Structure formats: C-alpha cells, structure tokens
Amino acid sequence: MRERLALERALNGYSKLERDLDDAITLIELGEGEDDQASVEEGEASLRKLADDARRREVEALLSGEADGNDTYLEVHAGAGGTESQDWASMLLRMYIRWAEDRAYKVSVVEQSAGEEAGIKSATLLIKGENAYGWLKNESGVHRLVRISPYDSNARRHTSFASVWVFPVVDENIEIDIKESDCRVDTYRASGAGGQHVNTTDSAVRITHIPTNIVVASQQERSQIKNRAIAWAMLKSRLYELELKKREEKANAAAASKTDIGWGHQIRSYVLQPYQLVKDLRTGTQSTDPQRVLDGDIDTFIETALAQRLSGAAPAQVEDID
C-alpha cells in the first residue's frame, strides 16, 4: 500500500505538471494575442516555477536507494569551542526543522542536550515524510560557520564547527540482529521542558553499541520503557545505515572517496562576516544569502549533491573559504 500511494502521488504530480504547463502556455499565447503584457509575464513566471518543480521531481525520481523512501533521524552535535559551537549547532537544528516543516514533514525532537550558556550540545530529530532519508542523506558531515561572535566583547571573527549525522528509520520489514551483550544501557534524568517529572526521574535512556561505539539516546517520553524502545529503534537504524554505507563502498570502491560522508568530512561553509556566502565544498554550489539558507532554504544544495552522487560524477574541486 505504501508503494502504491507513492506511485499514485508521483503520477498525480506529473499530471499536474502537464496541466500547469498547458495552462501557462495558453496564458502566454492569449496575452500575446491580446497584447496583454501582464498575462505574458504571469505565464512566464509560471513556467519558471514549473521548471524548478520539474527539476526537483527529476531528482526525486532517482531516489531508488534501499532506504531512500524511509523516514529519517537527524543528529546535530556541537564541535569543540564551547558556547560558540553550541550556538551554531542550535542554528543548524533550526535550519533543518524549518526545511522539514516547509515540506510538510512531521518533525519531533527525540533527544536534546542544552548548552551551558546558549545553544545545544546535541539533538536528535525524527523527521517523517516521503523520501525524508533520501533527501537528507547527503547532509551528513561537518558544517562550518564563520562570523563575528555575539559572545565576544571584542567583536572578533570566530570559526565554529558542528556535525550532522543522518540515518534512516528501519521499517518492520528490515531485520537487524543486535546482541544485547554488545550494548551498554544507561539511564539518566532528562533535561529541558516537561515539568517536574522529567527532571526528577531517570526516564532518559542512552544505549552504547560497544563494537561500533555508536551511541543513541532518547528522552522525549516520560516513560523509561518508551524511551528504551525508541533508543533501540534508533540503534537499529544507525547499524542499518552503517551497513548500507559499507555496501555502497564495496560496490563502488573506486568512488568511495566521492561518497564518504562520515565524521570529520567538512561539506559546507557558512560565512556571515566579513562577507556573506554559503558554499558547498563538494559541488561548488553557493548562495550569497546565508540568512535565507539558515531559514531552511537548502533545496539547491540538497538537490545538487544528490544529483552528483546519483550520476557518479566526480566532486567539484572547490577551494575552501578562508
């Protein structure tokens, strides 16, 4: 049923593109025939929008990976640098929430650890929607921010780092075998909003998978039992994503460096001062409107990286931003 609904949505989308294209062409022809420049401009604006929609659907049609259609978890971790990096991590978290909400995806915070003064140390989002993992999977990596620090009384320029990790939600048809003896389970008191109960009981759960050193945590529920179930599900998803990555690298060992999106690999720089520029260091895609990007307008970066990965093209040789 899920596959059928996805196919129906795709077909309906293509049919709508055809209808809108015919309407736009008809509007332009009528405008030209009646010397109505306003109608011509309206039709041309519709064509430009349709071109963007068609390009997005073209890329979406290539999302044929084993887990591309799944919901996804997205983790953000602040790098070294204290308050600066923690504030940057919270900015990234907001960016992805805004992006998901603009697509009408459902977003919930699974776990969040607040910074000492501002921002967050880490957070995990659960994003539910068609092809959520497929769209976001290339966002894994290190994101760098350059700006005049609002926390520096001398107004000096600071560079901050935060890491993003994206992994698919494992559905009921995928079996992942995890030995409990390979895991360490810790409980602790949740932090943040939620009333007195959250801060006085050990309801939060953290699971460490010792062989891979993967750590997952959940504190969104008031029940330790529910948080434990969520944490186990997250661990299965992380191990599944790791297996998918191994398969991909094994199938295309020569191009492994092109698709390596693991920890420590910087993928994008966001410069707010002394000039304004966001540049993807894999594809060369850039924007001179960082605020718009930080408000969630990252489709251009996502689509370009996805198209490059799917086509197997070599990454652009782009110099880093000083």
b or e along 108-120 (b: 16 or more beta carbons within 10 Å of the residue's beta carbon)? eebbbbebeeebb
Q: How far apart are CA 122 and CA 115, in angstroms?
A: 8
Check if the beta carbon of residue 291 is closer than 8 Å to that of residue 247: no
Contacts of range 4-11, beta carbons closer than 8 Å, 24 or more positions apart: 6/69, 6/130, 9/130, 10/57, 10/61
Per-residue pLDDT tens for 85-120?
999 999 999 999 999 999 999 999 998 988 888 899
Of all residues in the chain, the percent with pLDDT exceeding 70 is 85
Position 250 scores a pLDDT of 56
Facing residues of 128 across strands? 106
Work out the pLDDT band at 265, boundaries 50, 70, 90. low
Check if the beta carbon of residue 109 is closer than 8 Å to that of residue 219: no
Element (H, E) at 286: strand 286-287
Most confident segment among 245-259, 260-274, 295-309: 295-309
CATH of domain 180-250: 3.30.160.20
CATH, domain 72-168+255-311, list 3.40.30.10, 3.30.70.270, 3.30.70.1660, 3.40.50.2000: 3.30.70.1660
For residue 183, give both structure tokens.
Answer: 């895991």
Strand order in the sheet with 214-218: 183-188, 204-209, 214-218
Q: How far apart are CA 274 and CA 285, in angstroms?
A: 20
Per-residue pLDDT tens for 141-186?
999 999 988 877 777 888 899 999 998 888 666 677 788 888 999 9
Mean pLDDT of the chain: 83
The reported pTM is: 0.70
What residue segments make up the domains of the chain, in order of their start?
A: 2-61, 72-168+255-311, 180-250
Position 268 scores a pLDDT of 95
| Position with higher pLDDT, 21 vs 60 | 21
Position 125 scores a pLDDT of 95
Work out the pLDDT band at 243, boundaries 50, 70, 90. confident
